[in-house]
Amino acid sequence: MKSWLKGNGKARIRKLTFTGLLVASGLLLSGVSFPMGPTRCYPFQHTVNVLAGAALGPWWAAGAAFVTSLVRNMTGTGTLFAFPGSIPGAIAAGLAFRYFGKPWAALAEPLGTGFAGAAISAWILGPAVGKAAGMSVLMGAFLASSVPGALLGMGLVHALGRTSLSPFFAGEK
């Protein structure tokens, strides 16, 4: 049976530590938000999604997005829309980075968030929590948050690729 934590012990600890730092960064930067319809948009969450997707892969990025959303909800700074508003984008960024390289991670994050996340929110989450919003409203809100955040993430991936963190951002093609 394969472990869900791939790699040797040092690699696992390194990934777990980097994931924790990204979660902490997402939480610290969650003060920068704006309300749009029934959601609160956090552009820096999408920056963290791109960084996590590029450095750690899609599943670790989804885990970081999940933990960040969970803690934001527990502290009252987020809404339930944080889950579908971040996890699909993190997965899309990680998959795009893995298969296509650096710039595609940032371009795929808004697609995952804006389309898949908005669809999940509009069809499942919105009616479940009693906040009806059309998919176009949610898509607009999610894209308004994810596009600038993902572009910032792309710049950071490029800049961090030239530092001591470059093994994280090597780019699997």
pLDDT mean over 23-49? 85
Q: Three-state secondary structure along the chain? A: CCCCCCCCHHHHHHHHHHHHHHHHHHHHHHHCCEEECCEEECHHHHHHHHHHHHHHCHHHHHHHHHHHHHHHHHHCCCCCCHHHHHHHHHHHHHHHHHHHCHHHHHHHHHHHHHHHHHHHHHHHHHHHHCCCCCHHHHHHHHHHHHHHHHHHHHHHHHHHCCCCCCCCCCCCC
Residue with tokens 């450095």: 55
Domain 9-160 has CATH 3.30.470.20: no
Domain ranges of the chain: 9-160
pLDDT of residue 6: 56
What are the pLDDT digits (tens) for 72-105?
989 988 888 889 889 999 999 999 999 998 788 8
Whether the per-residue pLDDT at 23 is higher than 90: the answer is yes
From the CB of residue 148, how many other CB atoms can be counted at a distance below 10 Å?
16
More confident residue, 19 or 1: 19
> What is the rounded distance in angstroms from the CA atom of residue 56 to the CA atom of residue 114?
22
Q: What is the pLDDT of residues 98-155, one digit of tens each?
A: 999 878 888 899 999 989 988 888 887 666 656 666 777 788 888 988 999 999 999 9
Which pLDDT score, from 0 to 100, does residue 57 have?
92
Q: Which of 17-26, 37-46, 146-155 has the lowest mean pLDDT?
A: 37-46
Contact 43, 138 (CB under 8 A): no
